Amino acid sequence: MQTVRWESLTADRWRLARWIALAVYVGLFVYQYVQGMPWTTKGLPLEREQFIGWMALGAAVWSVGRDRKEVVLAIGGFGALALCFVVYDYTRGAIDNVWGNPTFIPQTPVSAPVQAVHNAKRLITAEKALFFGRMPTEFLQDHLYLPSNQHPPKWEVITGLTYLTHFYMVYVIALFMWFRDKVRWLHWVRSLVTLITLGVTGYLLYPTAPPWMAAKFNLMATTARPGTRSLKYVHLHYADRLWNKGQGLVNLVAAMPSLHMGFTVLVGAFFWRGARPWLRVILVAYPCLMLFTLVYGGEHYVLDCLVGALLAWLAVWLNRRYVAWRQKSTTTPETTTAGEFPGELPAVARIDSVD
């Protein structure tokens, strides 16, 4: 009887500690929004590393008093994502150092490796061969693009919102799955980290000027970047400002492969098994819409979108093979459920049963 009472008292104390930690977390977030932290500006933490950091802290706070491995997984999993993007941001300087021989991009004050221009030329030659001598970006912009930034077409709201999902969709899914199913969360984070690693490796090995940049070197017709300009119609002015500001910070020759496309295909490949028919329609439509957005917007070629899609599928496949191997090495044939997909642990599995 005393043991039960002690356990109840301990649980109450941990519950109180968790609510206090959540209150402190909310207070810090409000302070960040109003005043800004010493290392950030005030407002919403929209930069990827900051956004992921706040998610990691929130997940860790939520796990106070629960299984201690949850806190380690929260910090380790979300921390791995943040680290991947720190490495991604540094690839811009790394590419300059590895490939050298920079050249200034016409009409801009920034430079890019000459190798990125050569690689773009090869990619354009291959794409023209596939599309009967015409670049898909040129075709779409000739028929759909309007040069007025003051009154852009309203249908671009769809492409602008689609492009914007790249910056938060996979992380929101990670946070949602953290609260719903820790096992599948671990699978998701592992697949996402694998995809980002493959993408960054591709940027280092094969830097490529995207269509808008290739046009400045006269490798193709003049190509505009509509980006998120139409989001003002839905009062998302900050998103358009963020997009324009971010262009000076990203790796400008990170066209091959397309992680924009890779992220959307990762969502579809990961959730396809067991998805209902209506959800499968969305899982197919989302990558198709992203492909149109990227090609029409001059951000990517069709070929590097296809490579990004293949890498996303590969990341999911590698995760499933890894989990199947771990499951096979830690279980006997008698304990394996008949018909269970190897690599997908039951949703009710304890957190200490994986990795």
Question: CA 309, CA 318: separation in Å to the nearest integer?
Answer: 14
**Residue 297: inside a domain:** yes
The pLDDT of residue 301 is above 60: yes
Which of 129 and 274 is assigned the larger pLDDT? 129
Q: If pLDDT is split at 50, 70 and 90, which confidence band does 332 have? A: low
Q: Residue 254 — φ and ψ, nearest 5°? A: -95, 65
Q: How many domains is the chain partitioned into structurally?
A: 1
Strand-pair partners of 112: 103
What pLDDT is recorded for position 341?
36
Residue 208: which domain range?
90-353
Per cent of the chain over pLDDT 90 is 26
Per-residue pLDDT tens for 108-144? 777 788 888 999 999 999 999 999 888 999 999 998 9
Please give the model's pTM, rounded to 2 decimal places.
0.78
What pLDDT is recorded for position 11?
60
Question: CA 85, CA 94: separation in Å to the nearest integer?
Answer: 14
The pLDDT of residue 5 is above 70: no
Q: If pLDDT is split at 50, 70 and 90, which confidence band does 334 have? A: very low
**Least confident range of 30-34, 105-109, 134-138:** 30-34
**Residue 236: inside a domain:** yes
**Residue 33: inside a domain:** no
323 Cβ contact list (under 8 Å, min separation 6): 187, 342, 343, 344, 345
Amino acid code (one letter) for 162 = T
Mean pLDDT of the chain: 78
- The Cβ-side half-sphere exposure at 27, using a 13 Å CA radius, reads 6
**Least confident range of 14-18, 144-148, 228-232, 331-335:** 331-335
**Residue 203: inside a domain:** yes
**Residue 4: inside a domain:** no
Question: CA 122, CA 117: separation in Å to the nearest integer?
Answer: 9
**Residue 37: inside a domain:** no
What pLDDT is recorded for position 17?
73
Length of the chain: 355
Per-residue pLDDT tens for 202-236? 888 898 999 999 999 989 988 888 877 788 777 76
**Residue 198: inside a domain:** yes
**Residue 47: inside a domain:** no
